[in-house]
Structure 1
Amino acid sequence: MAVGGHSDTTLDEPTQVLEFTVGDERYCVVLDSVAEIIDRQLSRSLPDAPPHVVGVMDYRGVTTTLVDTARLLGVGSNPEASRVIVFDTGKEEDDVYGWLVDEVYRVTDLDPRDVDDSPFGDERTRGIVRTDDGLVVWVDPPTES
């Protein structure tokens, strides 16, 4: 089954995803893309940064870009969110970044039959997941901050 916007991605078996909230909305990302979940750290702002970049923080000795996930996903702005999902692209040391989120909800197995194609036509949105307690937007983290 092709998943919204990613016709080259086929899901034949359950995939583990991490669910989180940004404001009142629930999202998920593939768990394999997550390095760690941490409490928000002290950060420094960056001059001339894109609007969705809050600043940088130290994560295990690596300067890590901190992203206002609400702004990145187009659902407002919450630069004061308290949790950080850390992603590491694995390419280079500077390819580590953190998404600010309000709450990390759970890790769950995603059944491909529960995924509907994304109605947004947005490259970051893989689909909408139907769960027992509502809808979850499945997003891809960017390959760079």
Structure 2
Amino acid sequence: MADTPNNPVDTQVRRASVEERLGALELEQARLRQELISLSGELRLPGLFLTLDAAGTSALLAADAVQEVVRLVELEPLPGAPPHVAGTFIYRGNPAVAVDLAVLLGVTRQPELDAHLVICKGARPVAVLVDRVRDLVEAPTLVEGTPDGTVTLPWDRTGLMAGLCRTPEGVRPLLRVSAVLVGSEGA
């Protein structure tokens, strides 16, 4: 039987290919941003970015990748899922997967009742479980390294970080959305 656009196997293969290419594009975009920084000293990122708190640190996430922020709801465990998949829930009538950002960073903890789910835009609902969403930052400055010249953030070791941004509150890692979305595929 030939693969057709409606064939589930073909759809999965195409989805995996698109996600892989998206990840590669994000990595290339991060490399190009770093090259621009080295040429000009700094680069302001256009748009708004959410400040997320997870695992004792803060990070930025492009607001245009976010559909909605909601309070934590009861999550149903998903048997056989990787540890960072916190569970599933129903979002606007559709099943959704919740990925725990703290667990992706290597921090095991029980989320507080006032935690947030950041619903990412995409073909299927995926939420990022964070301790809280703090505020919006407009046009942060992408910087090279950290102020002291070292990178010691836990985000850097995970593949989740697309770069570092200077905000009024200090230097924050910029979260790669595709890394979280691909991380939900284990569900």
Q: Relative to total residues, which structure has the larger strand share, 1 or 2?
A: 1
Note the C-alpha offset of 1:79: 4.2
* CA deviation vs aligned residue, 1:11-35 (integer Å, no higher than 9, x gap): 7752311111013200111111101
Residue in 2 that maps onto 1:39: 71
| Runs of 4+, deviation exceeding 4 Å | 9-13
Q: Return closer, same or farther for 1:13/1:110 CA change in 2, 3 Å cut-off.
A: closer
Is 2:153 aligned against 1:125?
A: no
Deviation for aligned residue 1:124: 2.3
Are residue 116 (structure 1) and residue 152 (structure 2) matched? no
Cα shift readout 1:86-114 (whole Å, capped 9, x = no counterpart): 1121x3xxx21111111111111123x44
How many angstroms apart in 2 are the aligned matches of 1:19 and 1:125? 14
- Partner deviation per Cα, 1:18-59 (whole Å, 9 max, x = no partner): 111013200111111101000011111011001101110111
The question of whether the paired residues in 1 share the 8 Å contact of 2:104 and 2:158 is answered with: no
Query: 5+ unaligned residues in a row in structure 1: which ranges?
Result: none
For residues 104 and 158 of structure 2, the distance between their equivalents in structure 1, rounded to whole angstroms, comes to: 12
> Would you tell me which structure has more helix in proportion to its own residues?
2
57-66 or 15-24, which deviates more? 15-24
**CA separation of 1:83 and 1:12: change in aligned 2, threshold 3 A:** closer
Structure 1 residue matching 2:78: 3-state secondary structure: coil
CA distance in 1, matches of 2:157, 2:108: 22
TM-score (norm 1): 0.79
Task: Output the CA distance in 2 between the equivalents of 1:85 and 1:131.
Answer: 21
In 2, Cα distance between equivalents of 1:13 and 1:66: 28
Question: Contact 2:48–2:139 (CA<8 Å) still a contact in 1?
Answer: yes
Deviation at 1:134, TM superposition (A): 1.9
* Alignment partner, residue 78 of structure 1: 109
SS in 2 for 1:8: helix
Structure with larger RCO (C-alpha < 8 A, sep 6+): 1
Identity %: 24
Alignment match of 1:59 (pick from 81, 91, 104) = 91
CA contact (8 A) 1:54 1:79 kept: no
TM-score (norm: length of structure 2) = 0.63
- The aligned length equals 135
Is there any run of 5+ residues in structure 2 with no aligned partner, and where?
Answer: 1-25, 34-42
CA RMSD of aligned residues (A): 2.3
Question: Which amino acid in structure 1 is aligned with residue 160 of structure 2?
Answer: R
